[in-house]
Amino acid sequence: MSITVRFAQRDELDAINAVRRQVNDHHVSGRPDIFRSGFCDELEQHIFEFFDTQDHSVIAAFSEGRLCGFASVYTFVKPLSSYNLERRIYGVEEFGVLRDFRRMGVASAMIDFIKKDALAHGIDRIELDMWEFNEGAYKFYKSAGFVTIRRYMELNVKGFPTRENAERILEEAGKLNNGAWISHSRVAARCAEAIALKCGDLDSEKAYVLGLLHDIGRRFGVSHFRHVYDGYTYLTKLGYPAAAKICLTHSFPNRDIKDYIGNIDVSEEQYEYIKDMLSNVRYDDYDRLIQLCDAISMPFGAVSVEQRMNDVKGRYGAYPQNKWEKNISLKYYFSVKCGDDIEKLTSEVKGDI
């Protein structure tokens, strides 16, 4: 496949926007709680404004005459400050390759072009920033010789996303693996919120969010035990440890890994990791609440804990007796705690299907 790289012309920016749209979708999928979904007018126009700005250029890559990649680059002088020496920088603002043309050398060809262009400007360093979730991009930049010179960190104070961001996270997950689990998650969230509101000492928003995200590991595809591991690692990477903990604990009310109903579709190492995490984690009322809500939530709405367990038993052929008893005891625990009958309290909770 022959690849050519050159500076883009203004009438090629629409084709470049097709690549930018894919890059944006990738960002939305990776951080639904940060990036705007869709491709808004401002984002579409940005490349035209960038193109028209002095010391800014757009580079395009072509394969068999088709535009398949782009980079938007700029040069600037960072002035002397009390901290820094004056330095000239060649920056890469955006960089992307069309999905069908990845792993074919397009990105490497663009980096070669950028290196030559930087030197032509008398600049010997190229800078860019990237998102931590973007592991593929990190691997590529590293292989191209880039090194990390600075880290951009954040701490989510509550340990779980806002209600709105949790909804976005679930919505994006549904695009990757749609199924009854989405509605089941919403039912669990609605039940958790209703019970938490009655308890008085629980944060109902936190309960809702934790319920909504407890099965988020299913975003990576149809899985069994794996959704526990995937959900825990995914939300940990996103910086939401309280929500990640629920992904880990929701299937194990007795803290016994052998209670899992379904296939063990993880590696031995991943299984041992979850086992180790479970033995070290301390359960609180949020863990217990989502365990209960998971055990009463069907995709169409809330049911009694016995009805839901019988449904699971019917599908898998068995239900561990100690898990059965624990779920019943959780129902009584929360009935006493909130001074109301759990079935009555959640009887109006419906799903989206």
Residues that bind Fe ion (CB under 5 A): 215, 294
> Nearer to Fe ion by C-beta: 47 or 196?
196
Residue pair 293/255 in contact (Cβ under 8 Å)? The answer is no
Whichever of 94 and 215 has its CB closer to Fe ion, that residue is 215
Query: CB of 230: closest distance to Fe ion in angstroms?
Result: 13
- Report the nearest approach of Fe ion to the CB of residue 211 (Å): 9
Q: In terms of Cα–Cα distance, which of 212, 308, 235 is closest to 31?
A: 235
What span, in angstroms and rounded, lies between the C-alpha atoms of 137 and 15? 22
SS3 123: coil
Burial of residue 319 (number of CB atoms within 10 Å: 0-12, 13-18, 19+)? middle
- DSSP category for residue 283: P
CA 89 to chain centre: 32
Closer CB to Fe ion, 8 or 290, in the complex: 290
Please, what is the minimum distance in Å from the beta carbon of residue 292 to Fe ion? 11
Residue 147 CB contacts under 8 Å (≥ 6 apart), including other chains: none
User: In the bound complex, what is the minimum distance in angstroms from residue 229's beta carbon to Fe ion?
Assistant: 15
Nearer to Fe ion, 114 or 213 (CB): 213
**What's the closest the beta carbon of residue 184 comes to Fe ion, in angstroms?**
6
Tell me the three state secondary structure of residue 4. strand
CB nearer to Fe ion: pick between 215 and 287: 215
From the CB of 117, what's the least distance to Fe ion, in Å?
52
Q: Which residue, 172 or 215, has its beta carbon nearer to Fe ion?
A: 215
H/E stretch holding 95: strand 87-97
- Shortest separation between residue 309's beta carbon and Fe ion, angstroms: 13
3-state SS assignment for residue 266: coil
Which residue's structure tokens are 């002088």?
Answer: 77
Of the two residues 33 and 215, which places its CB atom closer to Fe ion in the complex? 215
Burial status of residue 89 (CB atoms within 10 A of its CB: 0-12, 13-18, 19 or more): middle
